[in-house]
Amino acid sequence: MHSEVGASGRDRKGPRRRAKLGRALLAALALLPCLAEAADTQPRVAVLRTSRIGPFADAIGALETALRADRRQPEILTFDLEAGGDVASAMESVRRSAPAVVVSVGSLATSLALEAAPPLDAPIVFSMVLYPAESGFLSGGRAITGASLDVPPREQLSTLQRLLPEAHSVGVLYSPRETGAVVAAAKPVAERLGLQLVSEAVDEPSKAPVVLDSLMKRVDALWTVADGGVFTPQTTPALLLAALRSRKPMLGLSPGQVRSGALAALVVDYEDVGRQTAEIVGSILGGRRAADVPITHPRHVTLALNLRTAELLGVKIPPDVLSEAHVLVQ
C-alpha cells in the first residue's frame, strides 16, 4: 500500500519548505517599514455620539461596518458625549486624536462639535440630523456636510397627495424659531403640487392644541414637521387625539405616532443613513473637500400606515399605496 505522506516523503520536502519560509520572513522584514508607514498614514475618523442605542446606534453600527470595508481602512475612534458629561474634556480628546474626519451623530453632537473651542481642525460630517440648514449648522463657514434625516417636503407632500387625492388644503403647525424656514420652503413646493399649505405659528408648545383646533376647521389634512416647539411629550398625545376626533388625517412623524392614531408616517431606514454617512466620509478621505460633497437625504424611506385610523376617517387607501406600505395597525 502506497502512502503519499510517508516519513520518507516528509524528509524529501523538508529543505524546500524551509527555503520558502526563509524567503517569506525576509520579505516580511523588508515590508515592515512600509507597514509602519501605512499605520502612520491610516486615517482616523472620530465618531461623536450622544447615545449608544436605538436608531442612533443602528446608524453608527452601519457606519462602522461600511468604514471597515473602505480600502483606506480608517481607524474609528468613538467619543461619548453624554448629557451632563464633561464635553470639554471629550472635545480635547477628539482634538488630540487628530482625526481626518469628525462624524457627529445627531443634532446635539453636531452642535457640540461646531461649538468646540478651540475649533476642531477636521471637517465635520454630520449624520442623522434633521434640518441641518435651518439649525444653522451650515452657516458658520465651517467645513461641514453630512447625511440628513430630512425627507424632502416634495416627497412628503406628494405622499400625502397619493394617500388623500381629494385633499386640497393641508395644515401644519410650526414654531417660527425652529421650523419657520422649513415651512416657508415647503409652501412653493405645495403650490407646485396643487396643494394649499396653511401654516399656523405656535409661540409655545402648550398652546399647540388650541392653535390646532382652529387650524383643523380650515384644512383637509395635516402635515407635520419635527418641531420641538410643537411636539412635546405633553402636547403630542393631545394633538394626535384632536386630529382623530376632528377626522383630519395626519401625516405624522414616526411609527409611534402612527400607532397612536396618525394615519401615516414616512419612516427612514436609519442603517442606510449610516451607510450614506460612510460614503461621505469615504469621499472626504479620498480627497474631496467637505464643501464639495453634497448633503444627502434618506434614500430608503417606507410608508407606515394605521388602517384603523383610515377606517375611522373613511379614508380608502389606494391599492398601489397599500401594497408598498408597512402596515402598523390594522
For another protein, the binding residues in 251-280 under the rule CB under 8 A are: 253-256, 259-260, 268
**Contact 59/105 with Cβ under 8 angstroms?**
yes
Residue 52 near another protein by CB under 8 A: yes
Residue 82 near another protein by CB under 8 A: yes
Residue 50 near another protein by CB under 8 A: yes
Please, what is the minimum distance in Å from the beta carbon of residue 28 to another protein?
41
**Contact 179/134 with Cβ under 8 angstroms?**
yes
Regarding beta strands 169-174 and 301-306, do their DSSP bridges make them parallel or antiparallel, or are they unpaired?
Answer: unpaired
Residue 84 near another protein by CB under 8 A: yes
Please, what is the minimum distance in Å from the beta carbon of residue 216 to another protein?
12
**Contact 152/297 with Cβ under 8 angstroms?**
yes
Choose, by CB under 8 A, the member of 133, 184, 189, 312 that binds another protein.
Answer: 312
Please, what is the minimum distance in Å from the beta carbon of residue 112 to another protein?
11
Residue 149 near another protein by CB under 8 A: yes
Residue of 54, 259, 274 whose CA lies nearest to 149: 274
Residue 244 near another protein by CB under 8 A: yes
Residue of 87, 132, 83, 178 whose CA lies nearest to 280: 132
Residue 88 near another protein by CB under 8 A: no
Region from 153-161, 189-197, 250-258, 285-293 binding another protein, contact rule CB under 8 A: 250-258
Q: Residue 50 corresponds to which cell in the numbers above? A: 450622544
Region from 23-31, 96-104, 246-254, 316-324 binding another protein, contact rule CB under 8 A: 246-254
Within a 10 A sphere around the Cβ of 84, how many other Cβ atoms? 5
Count of residues interacting with another protein (CB under 8 A): 53
Tell me the H-state helices in the chain. 7-41, 54-68, 87-96, 107-115, 153-163, 176-192, 208-216, 235-245, 255-259, 270-285, 307-313, 319-324
To 10 degrees, the CA torsion angle through 136, 142, 145, 149? Answer: -20
Burial environment of residue 227 by CB neighbours within 10 A (0 to 12, 13 to 18, 19 or more)? buried
Shorter beta-carbon distance to another protein: residue 128 or 164:
128
Choose, by CB under 8 A, the member of 113, 129, 183, 250 that binds another protein.
Answer: 129
Which spans of this chain sit near another protein (rule: CB under 8 A)?
A: 50-56, 58, 82-84, 106-108, 128-131, 135, 149, 178, 204-207, 209-210, 226-228, 231-234, 236-238, 240-241, 244-245, 247, 253-256, 259-260, 268, 311-312, 327, 329
